[in-house]
Amino acid sequence: MKTKQESSTASVRHNYAAQWRNDRPVVYGVREATQKIGCTVNTACKAFKILQERGFIVCVNESFFNSKTGSKAREWRLTCR
């Protein structure tokens, strides 16, 4: 039986791979993942970490929060299909 973390990792990798292309980064944050997958923030963070460790995604631009200019989610590059 899969853990919630494994299910989240598989969901991010499979369900959203169609919009992710190798030639351009995709803006996709932890909060967006929690809404689309239906998991906790902690589980989504672990899923992104697993995808990075296994070489499926690479972070090309870090996220930031600024109360005056707004927030920006991380940008990811898909490394394999």
Q: Structure tokens of 7?
A: 């299910």
3-state secondary structure string, the chain? CCCHHHHHHHHHHHHCCCCCECCECEECCHHHHHHHHCCCHHHHHHHHHHHHHCCCEEEEECCEEECCCEEECCEEEECCC
Taking the C-alpha atoms of residue 70 and residue 42, their distance in angstroms, rounded to an integer, is 23
Tens of pLDDT along the chain (81 residues) come to 566 556 666 666 565 555 656 677 888 888 888 888 888 999 998 988 998 899 888 888 877 776 677 777 788 888 865
Cut 0.95: pTM above it: no
- Of the candidates 46, 77, 80, the one whose C-alpha atom is nearest the C-alpha of residue 59 is 77
Taken in order of first residue, the domains within the chain and their CATH numbers are 4-78 (1.10.10.10)
